[in-house]
Amino acid sequence: MADVSSLAASDRQTRQRTWVLDFLKQHPHFWTAQQIHEQLRLEGHTISLPTVYRSLARLVSTQAVDQRVLAGQASYRRCSTKHHHHLVCRQCGATIELSDAPLEQWVQATAQAHGFADVSHLTEIVGTCPDCQIGRPALQATANQPGREREER
């Protein structure tokens, strides 16, 4: 006994989650849910902000995307799955993944020296990227999409 309507609903959720994930794959910055919502609408997708939030929560829970919270504001990025840190532009969210063996060793050695077990750590470098320093935020890069047949004024 197939419940057609709930099947259709879960199909739609899966499709909308794919839009969010595809967007993050194509634009490897940290984005807020509002920014992702805005950009998806610009690309012509019909999706609500709550759906974007729901999709992101699901993608975070399956570790498909990384979440960071700065000053109460969450942002999201499709990252590699290996352990890494972020060098993030505080203006446009441009991000470079960092891995640093000496840092990892220092963390372990410091924890051990103090007798700590089950250690985890958060390390992030935040600054202003080269583009933002010259007033060319990368967010504009997504404004010139190929399919720009905008009818509405």
Q: Residues 19, 40, 65, 66: which binds Zn ion (CB under 5 A)?
A: 66
Q: How many residues bind Zn ion (CB under 5 A)?
A: 8
Does residue 23 belong to the site contacting Zn ion (CB under 5 A)? no
Among 36, 56, 132, 139, binds Zn ion (CB under 5 A): 132
The number of CA neighbours under 13 Å toward the Cβ of 146 is 0
Q: How far is CA 102 from CA 35, 41, 76, 87, 119, in A?
A: 35, 43, 27, 17, 16
For residue 52, state whether it binds Zn ion (rule: CB under 5 A): no
Residue 79 binding Zn ion, by CB under 5 A = yes
Stretch binding Zn ion (CB under 5 A), from 12-20, 21-29, 30-38, 86-94: 86-94
CB atoms within 10 A of CB 42: 13
CA distance linking residue 23 with residue 17, whole number of Å? 10
Give residues in contact with Zn ion (CB under 5 A): 66, 79, 89, 91-92, 94, 129, 132
